[in-house]
């Protein structure tokens, strides 16, 4: 059976489409590959820009060549006839509507269960450069957060609630200031985490309401470069003023576990083994993992994940990944501990896996207390 690879998606949302074509567009278009032949099919609206911006090895076709009325299904059928194929291999997020329509027209549509482009796991020097740029901008956002917290003082109206410029300092205000700083340098963030106190005990709680002295404040910033599509990712946990002893202990444990885990990362290392090491390391510091009253506590997420054209990519530094690292992966290393009674602690750096170790892309310092 003759087959071709097929993606139908917009490259603003589909990392596979952006990786394949190099062309950014907000509306769905067609990418195909059969052997050494690769092409994209664009409407008149995008055709001329596509010629300028697509990868050099991609041929640009007009949608009208395949469909007089501009219909996507008709164009994909005509493409199959031109290529002489009877089967399309598609990514896991391919539209069920399109798949059913193509099957109804007599074409076989097969979903690829693994990564559509396995080579995306291994970043080129160009990609590492883009991710490094994203990290430098991410660090500007974290620096802005640090500066605001340094300026903040306890407000006169509430017990230990922070004030900034004479107004209550909230998660929402600090998040907006972070995101605005990122935009100034060409990156866009959504769901930036600014979680204080009890909110910080839930790893993906974005945080809301007033910020307080002497409570852990988890700030997790993960923006995307507006022009290139690559992501940064950085987490720090701060305390304004003096941290409670349990928070200091958690900070020391998580920092040591992060740094020791980075020392284990290299080509040939097994992610599940590094993850297990981190769990045991945190337990040894007095931070066990489990459940109580239906809530998780301790270290209950993966140690890290790959970053590229998506914020969460394969491979993962988790208990189920037994495939050795190859070298060239870009990974976060972000252990954390979370306890409802006092809050959470997470510290995250980003590294590139090399033959004999890893190179840390993160330059932002690791500190806990902000005077």
Asked if 102 and 129 sit in the same domain, the reply is no
Asked if 159 and 86 sit in the same domain, the reply is no
Last residue of a domain, one of 67, 88, 116: 116
Range of the domain at 37: 3-116
The predicted structure's pLDDT at residue 77: 97
Asked if 351 and 264 sit in the same domain, the reply is yes
Asked if 91 and 169 sit in the same domain, the reply is no
Q: Which two tokens stand for residue 5?
A: 């690879």
Domain with residue 212: its CATH number is 3.90.230.10
Q: Give mean pLDDT in consecutive 10-residue pieces for the chain, a chain of 371 residues.
A: 95 97 97 97 96 97 91 96 97 97 96 95 98 98 98 84 96 98 97 98 97 98 97 98 98 98 98 98 98 94 98 97 98 98 98 98 98 96
Domain with residue 60: its CATH number is 3.40.350.10
Q: What is the DSSP string of 106-134?
A: T-EEEE-SS-SSGGGGS--HHHHHHHHHH
Q: How far is CA 10 from the centre of its chain?
A: 19
Q: Which two tokens stand for residue 253?
A: 């444990």
Asked if 108 and 155 sit in the same domain, the reply is no
Asked if 246 and 329 sit in the same domain, the reply is yes
Asked if 157 and 185 sit in the same domain, the reply is yes
Asked if 211 and 347 sit in the same domain, the reply is yes
Last residue of a domain, one of 58, 84, 116: 116
- CA atoms of 12 and 23, how far apart (whole Å): 9
Last residue of a domain, one of 83, 116, 149: 116
The predicted structure's pLDDT at residue 362: 98
- What is the pTM for the complete model shown? 0.95
Count of structural domains within the chain: 2
Q: Which two tokens stand for residue 119?
A: 């080579």
Asked if 77 and 138 sit in the same domain, the reply is no
- CA atoms of 133 and 130, how far apart (whole Å): 5
- CA atoms of 314 and 325, how far apart (whole Å): 11
The predicted structure's pLDDT at residue 158: 66
Q: How many CB atoms lie within 10 A of CB 271?
A: 26
Asked if 163 and 34 sit in the same domain, the reply is no
The predicted structure's pLDDT at residue 156: 72
Asked if 100 and 136 sit in the same domain, the reply is no
- CA atoms of 229 and 13, how far apart (whole Å): 10
Q: Which two tokens stand for residue 184?
A: 């100034």
Task: Tally helices (H) and strands (E) across the chain.
Answer: 8, 24
Asked if 258 and 303 sit in the same domain, the reply is yes
- CA atoms of 19 and 11, how far apart (whole Å): 8
Question: Which residue, chain included where needed, has tokens 């304004």?
Answer: 240
């Amino acid at each position: 059976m003759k087959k071709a690879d097929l993606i139908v998606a917009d490259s603003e949302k589909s990392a596979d489409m952006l990786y394949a074509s190099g062309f950014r567009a907000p509306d769905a278009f067609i990418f195909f590959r059969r052997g050494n032949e690769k092409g994209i099919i664009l409407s008149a609206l995008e055709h001329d820009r596509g010629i300028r911006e697509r990868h050099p090895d991609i041929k640009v076709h007009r949608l009208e060549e395949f469909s007089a009325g501009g219909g996507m299904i008709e164009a994909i059928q005509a493409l199959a006839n031109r290529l002489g194929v009877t089967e399309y291999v598609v990514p896991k997020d391919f539209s069920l509507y399109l798949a059913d329509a193509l099957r109804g027209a007599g074409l076989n549509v097969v979903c690829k269960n693994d990564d559509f482009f396995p080579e995306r796991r291994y970043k080129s020097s160009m990609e590492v450069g883009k991710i490094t740029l994203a990290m430098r901008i991410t660090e500007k956002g974290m620096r802005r957060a640090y500066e605001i917290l340094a300026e903040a003082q306890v407000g006169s109206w509430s017990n230990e609630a922070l004030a900034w410029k004479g107004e209550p300092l909230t998660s929402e205000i600090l998040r907006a200031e972070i995101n605005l700083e990122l935009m100034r340098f060409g990156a866009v963030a959504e769901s930036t985490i600014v979680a204080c106190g009890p909110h910080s005990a839930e790893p993906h709680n974005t945080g809301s309401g007033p910020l307080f002295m002497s409570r852990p404040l988890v700030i997790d910033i993960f923006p995307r470069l507006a022009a290139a599509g690559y992501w940064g990712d950085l987490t720090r946990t701060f305390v304004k003023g003096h941290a409670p002893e349990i928070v200091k202990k958690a900070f020391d444990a998580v920092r040591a576990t992060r740094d020791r885990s980075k020392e284990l990362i290299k080509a040939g290392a097994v992610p599940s083994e590094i993850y297990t090491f981190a769990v045991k390391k945190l337990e040894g510091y007095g931070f066990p993992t489990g459940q109580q009253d239906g809530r998780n506590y301790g270290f209950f997420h993966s140690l890290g994940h790959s970053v590229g054209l998506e914020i969460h990519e394969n491979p993962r530094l988790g208990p189920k990944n037994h495939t050795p690292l190859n070298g060239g992966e870009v990974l976060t290393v972000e252990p954390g501990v979370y306890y409802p009674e006092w809050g959470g602690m997470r510290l995250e750096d980003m590294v590139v896996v090399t033959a004999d170790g890893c190179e840390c892309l993160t330059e932002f310092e690791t500190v806990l207390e902000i005077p």
